[in-house]
Structure 1
């Protein structure tokens, strides 16, 4: 899992993407000489113009080659963060374990869309303006009075048509067309073309962003809720890194640090409810200058229970729980401790409990001994169990 060989064309394309994206601040890869590219903190799937597909999986275990566990973890995190209903127990889902992430997303989308079509697409009235030789609906008198004498035999009409031309259906049709063109799985290809025939009367979306904003959220659209995040993923509406340029790469790349942060947030809300409220940060600043706050201090999570407040921050990094000497320092960074100290002064007024959250693994399966800034302000380094979705909390915290 640490290295992979690429064709020369794919390597050159990735080098060009590295140079282009580096200027925008999205460091997808780091070039190491003329023969190596080091991947940055991104996971997902990326397709090169020559057809080469790269699947980048999170390495949260010490054993190499555990592709199934890494795929399962990434899928669980995406389902949790995007609120995709789990279907891990079905036989069809078990058969999809060995598929790359993009094929898995497309298969889940097709299954959700197939169930939606069986229940029935939502129809709505659409206003139609047309010119006919007969009267139908309402006559548009303003346009009719402006009709030239040579076209006086035609009527300007307005009427409503009850059809499936809705923003949600247009987006689903566009996503389905993408799946038909991209999938390489025989079962997905067959189901995609069957659904395309059944949705032949639905037009494609011409303005994806506008239709996404117009997606209905009332109770009549409740059965569309499960398919929306998958549709947005396929249309690259929520992909944090969508590659643009001459080649429209069907990529799904996610910054692992952000994905880990959101996954921890959802799991913490489940684990500590209802005693604790897990929320975002308030508006605190490191200092003030001329009456204005400078340098925002925004921790990942604030845990509240009445008047009690605790600050948590997540870091996607593998720690070594046995490297306790002053030289290794478990792999911790001094800058993170400076950051937590500033949080403690502004949010806790120098007295309270804070925590840095790292992923749990075989070498870091329990909390480290507490770090004391002083007698009143303490910092814990806690492991988060990615498989169980729970924070490992020591007795003294």
Structure 2
């Protein structure tokens, strides 16, 4: 099995890399022809749904889009796609750690696995880290005991067991009086939660290449041999019980969903049943920013994610072109629009800092529809060496746009950059 580690917008080819391309391992990579063709087919299916995993530059090169995560092809090639945020020599391990943090924060996974030590100890590919988290939670669950339940069976036997089915026994054909129609209950592990865990475990056993993961996966598989595999994922996930008797299953459920490609709304899974888990980086960044902002906003203010109440214009008595900023903060009669962009901002004023004019048009429309053309708008980018502090752009007529850096490595917002927003009383007092 071949493992290829690249980052967003990298280029993939079937040809041998030149010396200059080989010097950029995160931006150029060679894959097999079968993996190349499968990626093209997968991207075609995603493009119909409004997304694009790769773009074909010619017959020998593919350029990745802004999806991050891991995708496994039927031929065994595992492609790990990392965020494009660091340019240092240790960019790969730092990007891998960043991606793990973003996944945990965006999907609200169990708190006990989000500790710094748990994230940094294991430096394997994201797919193996994901498998390890699932196996650890499943191991804890198995040690506490799988939940069984009773299933009613109706059978014909030579001996009485359980309850006699009197109606069917009276309808018995002559000469078969020695056969008993009975009903009895069996205490079995055949329930939706266990079936899903067994299917995820089988998938992990086939996919993992890490010795520790392989050993633990097969030990757990031996214990769960009597549990049948799930044949209908959607049906079994809908029937997953969350009552108090199933509380010890809560920690493993999100990992099971990730393994089976059933975690919504961020995961994009292929039709082939491999460990394929892709996230749009824009959405991961937006979720991270939203979570940080929600902890800072005054409890009397409301945070809408996203806002969907305003439209750009009207036509024939109906509204068209709905405007959907990532975040809208309202407090009394005041409103503030915030939008996130996963993009590097540079310090070159001549190139307008690498900013996009359509983004400014978009924020201008948001401000007029949601804020009546007055107040402060915020455009949030990941913080970098060339973008350490906020920048202000004036739209005139009382409307301003702030470019705010967000430290994605853990520090989050600088509170001095958010003084225009209604923050919590404790933070506001602390700042003053």
Q: Which residue of 1 aligns with 2:406?
A: 384
Give RMSD over aligned pairs: 2.6
Rounded to whole Å, the distance in 2 between the matches of 1:130 and 1:147 is 13
| Unpaired segments ≥5 residues, structure 2 | 1-25, 421-432
Match of 1:352 among 375, 379, 382: 375
Whether contact under 8 Å (1:88, 1:94) holds in the other structure is: no
Whether contact under 8 Å (1:279, 1:303) holds in the other structure is: yes
For residue 225 of structure 2, give the secondary structure of its aligned residue in structure 1: coil
Rounded to whole Å, the distance in 2 between the matches of 1:389 and 1:153 is 77
Matched, 1:311 2:333: no
Q: Quote the offset at 1:314 in angstroms.
A: 1.1
Q: Which residue of 1 aligns with 2:67?
A: 42
Match of 1:240 among 267, 280, 298: 267
How many residues in Structure 1 have an aligned counterpart in Structure 2?
A: 390
Normalising by structure 1, what TM-score? 0.89
Q: Which residue of 2 aligns with 1:81?
A: 106
Match of 2:311 among 256, 276, 285: 285
Match of 1:331 among 334, 338, 354: 354
Whether contact under 8 Å (1:366, 1:392) holds in the other structure is: no
Matched, 1:226 2:248: no
The 1:208/1:19 distance shift into structure 2, 3 A limit, reads closer
Whether contact under 8 Å (2:104, 2:114) holds in the other structure is: no
Matched, 1:164 2:189: yes
Match of 1:178 among 200, 203, 209: 203
Whether contact under 8 Å (1:277, 1:304) holds in the other structure is: yes
- Which deviates more, 136-145 or 2-11? 136-145
Whether contact under 8 Å (2:311, 2:322) holds in the other structure is: yes
Residues 171-200 of structure 1: CA deviation (Å, up to 9, x unaligned): 111111111111111101111111112222
| Structure-to-structure mapping, 1:133-212, within 5 angstroms | 133-139=158-164, 154-212=179-237
Rounded to whole Å, the distance in 2 between the matches of 1:345 and 1:149 is 86
Q: Quote the offset at 1:294 in angstroms.
A: 1.6
For residue 30 of structure 2, give the secondary structure of its aligned residue in structure 1: coil
Q: Quote the offset at 1:133 in angstroms.
A: 3.8
The 1:150/1:7 distance shift into structure 2, 3 A limit, reads same
Q: Quote the offset at 1:223 in angstroms.
A: 2.0
Match of 1:270 among 295, 315, 327: 295
Q: Quote the offset at 1:135 in angstroms.
A: 4.3
Q: Quote the offset at 1:332 in angstroms.
A: 1.5
Q: Quote the offset at 1:64 in angstroms.
A: 5.3
Q: Quote the offset at 1:129 in angstroms.
A: 3.3
Whether contact under 8 Å (1:302, 1:311) holds in the other structure is: yes
For residue 4 of structure 1, give the secondary structure of its aligned residue in structure 2: strand
Q: Quote the offset at 1:103 in angstroms.
A: 0.6
Q: Quote the offset at 1:147 in angstroms.
A: 5.7
Rounded to whole Å, the distance in 2 between the matches of 1:143 and 1:286 is 69
| Unpaired segments ≥5 residues, structure 1 | none
Q: Quote the offset at 1:159 in angstroms.
A: 3.8
Whether contact under 8 Å (2:100, 2:119) holds in the other structure is: no
| Structure-to-structure mapping, 1:79-158, within 5 angstroms | 79-85=104-110, 86-87=112-113, 89=115, 94-96=120-122, 98-139=123-164, 154-158=179-183
Rounded to whole Å, the distance in 2 between the matches of 1:90 and 1:382 is 26
The 1:301/1:89 distance shift into structure 2, 3 A limit, reads closer
Q: Which residue of 2 aligns with 1:373?
A: 395
For residue 56 of structure 2, give the secondary structure of its aligned residue in structure 1: strand
- Which deviates more, 330-339 or 20-29? 20-29
- Which deviates more, 98-107 or 197-206? 197-206
Whether contact under 8 Å (2:190, 2:227) holds in the other structure is: yes
Q: Which residue of 2 aligns with 1:3?
A: 28
